Amino acid sequence: MSLLVFSDITGLDTSTHFACRIREAGAASWSTSFVWMSTADTLVKDDSVDIQNGFDFYALANWTSSWVSFEVAENAAIELEVEKLHGDATISLAIPRPAHRASASLSSGKAYVTMTGPQQVNIDIDGTFELDNTGLGNMFTERIAPRHSFTIFANPMLSAAERPDPTSADVLTVSPGETPPADFNETTLYFLPGVHNLSAIPACCSTRVLADACECTSDSSSAGYVAPYKLKSYKQYYVPTDAWLEGWFKSYGDGPVWGAGDGYGVHSMKLFGYGTVSGINMYWKSAAAINTNKVPKGLWLRAATNCTVMGLMFVDYNMHTVILFGGSLGGDTEDDRNTITHYKALGWRTNSDGLHLFGHWNDVTDLWLRTADDSLYIGDEGSSTTYRRIVTWNDANGAPFLFGQANGGPTTLEDSDVIYHRKQWPYWCGSVFNLRWESHHNSINNFTIRDIRITDPYPTCPLLNIEGSMRNVYMKNVVMDAHSSLTTLPSWYCTQSYTTSKYRFDLSNDYGCNLPYGIPNSFLGYGCTGDQCDASRLDVNINISNFLFEGVTINGTDLAELYYDTPGAFNVSGSVYDINFIRPSPISPPSTPPGVTASPPPPSPPAATPMPAPPPLPSPPAFVRLWWPPPPSPPSPISPPPSPPAPPAGPSSGDGDIAAIVGGVVGGVVVILAIAAAVYFMKVKGKGMENKVKPAPAAVKQEAVGSVPAA
């Protein structure tokens, strides 16, 4: 069997916006697929009693996400026919994102999508997101309108050995309407097709009537208490594609770490299948419950060891969709490490973060994270973890990749895609790669980030906002198709910005109302923020240092050119030094599909002039480069020119490694080496506690639409 399609889910309504049929490529007949749908609601709240439903992003009201989910063999070629059911019911444009995962064509008003093997891909219909800037609705209210998307989840086919047999004596089945048992003797609990109540949800928690509402909480003393279904050690829980569960999961507490019965440790547990777990009926929350971390999640594991989470989709939670803590049995061993793969998240509400991971995990792969808040925390106390094939999509708030406040070993992010990164409000914007100011400790370090594609034609925020302290970072082949799309301040914000610099993102008043490259990238090396910062409080132990960028571009311009030679593209202040670049040969811009307008070429930089030496600065403090494990010396990545400086020792280019970064001497140095007539290396040191301030260039109009790779 190469294809397994599900046509119906008893008790669940199919999408009102899209229909879909699926077949193996070239097959004579089609199979009609069930099309799931989730809708963003409108905000309802009562501040006098501290209760709301979490749909604060009013620009998303009445948006829908429709999707199909099915199983497919590894190398099977498949075709999907997508039909639009709203508006004029005719599809005029279909653009896959990520573009390399599928192709699309049109015939008789329908879209036909072809792909091979397991994939996760959105088909943008009629340019809903590719031609329209859906961000900044709070500033530009004319952009607010219902939006409808269609996503394909082609999941890896489970083998006969992997798929539980519901007739087996070692499998206990649960029918819709039955209460799932807390204890069972069989190895596997199997949720049969249909809609299940995983948790008992009080009426005051699920009601849509504000006068009858209470906060949904994990506090057992509250009227709105929603008890989690607790996952036990040495058990398997199977949720097939045609099962829908209302409620939430938590580890039971019978694992070897942190004791039994406390809702924490779990060992050798497997939660898997391609079904859906929903939080929509846990409708209400309060600020008090958020502040005390008592809002139910979708899945919360504590002190997990040797556990697996695979395939499930979690939809519409009010607080951090999935949080997973990997425990330790006394060392980082194979019995410690957990697995998460092919997990999907969809969140419309505030705080609906996609995944927060701690502790010991195997490679984290094939995640789809569409959230209204932060998508993925990388490196946050995770031990030597690699993230691969991650797709992020932000509709209203949050960062695609958020660096945490600590990490327990080298972290690698590779071969991943940011398809949309949009905010409804630009201040406290963050970036694609974001270190927030509270992360000002000395333990944020050792990251390799490579082969990342940011294809959003209208990203609200920039590529980088590193604010605090971070060291030893290597970024390679990171391509962002467009600059931040906020290129002109609305009149009120422009007027305010002349006296309040945050409204112009700390750019010079000389720019007027224009932001020539949108919201600028930033390196802010200090451990305080805003009005709390002054020179006497800066701590040189808190610094941004030892970064190497290779083949990193924004809107076709190398990051080195933006950093050094492009006024308005970067803010740099505080303790920032050892920022290094390897500039590649010019990259041809991607082609543009029909109906999409490409960005104009970036403005020419000012003529290069010698950079003056910065004033003498105190030597930065010595710090230990926290390479772990100790790296071997790498081979030379390119053929050296005659008599080059000796390369430093550093790690190899394998998973989890970080390329060597030269650092140490303070002073302004720019070295240009001609390598194969196309590559040169740029390095600067001594960017200490001064601000990087440059005169404004001639007025530049940066169009919001970026070039879009061919579908």
Query: Which amino acid belongs to residue 222?
Result: S
270-287 residue pLDDT tens: 999 999 999 999 999 999
CATH topology of domain 171-484+543-570: Pectate Lyase C-like (2.160.20)
User: Structure tokens of 618?
Assistant: 């105190």
Kind and range of the H or E element at 493?
helix 491-497
Q: What is the DSSP string of 281-294?
A: TS--B-HHHHHTT-
Q: Which residues pair with 449 in a beta bridge?
A: 413, 475
pLDDT for 264: 76
Q: H/E element holding 119?
A: strand 119-125
- Between CA 386 and CA 339 the distance in angstroms is 11
Distance of CA 436 to the CA centre of its chain: 15
Q: Cβ distance 636 to 650 under 8 Å?
A: no
Contacts of 131 (CB under 8 A, 6+ apart): 93, 595, 596, 705
- Give the pLDDT band (50/70/90) at residue 441: low
**What's residue 682's pLDDT?**
36
Classify residue 526 as exposed, middle or buried by CB count within 10 Å of its CB (0-12, 13-18, 19+): buried
pLDDT of residue 18: 98
Structure tokens given for 366: 């094939």
Are 251 and 266 contacting, i.e. CB atoms less than 8 angstroms apart?
Answer: yes
* Contact assessment for residue 184 and residue 234, using Cβ atoms and an 8 Å cutoff: no
As given in the structure block, the two tokens for residue 103 are: 């192709």
Say if residue 438's pLDDT is above 60.
no
| Total residue count of the chain as it appears in this document | 711
The pLDDT of residue 233: 95
For CATH 2.160.20.10, list the domain ranges present in the chain: 171-484+543-570
Q: Return the amino acid letter for 319.
A: M
Global model pTM greater than 0.75: yes
Q: Please, are residues 525 and 621 in contact by the beta-carbon 8 Å criterion?
A: no
Q: What is the pLDDT of residue 542?
A: 81
Look up residue 594 and give its DSSP letter: T
Task: Please state, in angstroms and rounded to a whole number, the distance separating the CA atoms of residues 200 and 215.
Answer: 14
Mean pLDDT throughout 101-130? 98
Q: What is the pLDDT of residue 254?
A: 81
**Given the structure tokens 């190469």, which residue do they identify?**
2
The pLDDT of residue 534 is above 70: no
When mean pLDDT is compared over 327-341, 371-385, 557-571, the highest value belongs to 557-571
Q: What angle do CA 480, 482, 483 make, to 5 degrees?
A: 105
591 pLDDT above the threshold of 60:
no
Q: Name the DSSP letter for residue 183.
A: -
How does pLDDT run across 228-239, given as a tens digit for each residue?
999 999 999 999
Phi, psi of 85 (to 5 degrees): -110, 0
* Sheet strands (E) in 210-363: 229-231, 236-238, 243-246, 249-251, 266-267, 270-272, 276-278, 299-305, 308-310, 313-315, 322-326, 339-341, 344-346, 355-360
Helix (H, G, I), strand (E, B) or coil at 414: strand
Between CA 686 and CA 668 the distance in angstroms is 6
CB-CB neighbours of 629 under 10 Å: 11
Cα distance between residue 73 and residue 695, in whole Å: 58
CATH 2.60.350.10 domain span(s) along the chain:
3-43+56-156
* pLDDT attached to residue 323: 95
* b/e burial code for range 338-363 (CB count within 10 A of at least 16 → b): bbbbbbbbbbbbbbbbbbbbbbbbeb
- CATH superfamily of domain region 3-43+56-156: Dextranase, N-terminal (2.60.350.10)
The pLDDT of residue 44: 97
Two tokens, residue 205: 């928690």
Q: Is 647 helix (H, G, I), strand (E, B) or coil?
A: coil
Average pLDDT over residues 446-458: 96
Q: Locate tokens 């919001």: which residue?
A: 704
Pairing mode of beta strands 243-246, 276-278: parallel
**For residue 538, what pLDDT band results from cuts at 50, 70 and 90?**
low
Per-residue tokens: 410: 């080298």
Distance CA 320, CA 335 (A): 27
pLDDT tens track for 199-212: 999 999 999 999 99
Which phi and psi (to 5°) does residue 227 adopt? Answer: -75, 130
Lowest mean pLDDT among 111-120, 167-176, 529-538: 529-538
Cα–Cα distance for residue pair 56/662, rounded to 1 Å: 46
Residue pair 111/682 in contact by the 8 Å Cβ criterion: no
Contact 546, 473 (CB under 8 A): yes
8 Å CB contact between 30 and 22: yes
**Average pLDDT score, the chain:** 82
Categorize the per-residue pLDDT at 525 as very low, low, confident or very high, splitting at 50, 70 and 90.
confident
Question: 641: pLDDT confidence band, cut at 50, 70 and 90?
Answer: very low
What does the alpha-carbon distance between residue 198 and residue 185 come to, in Å, rounded to a whole number? Answer: 19
Region 598-618 average pLDDT:
37
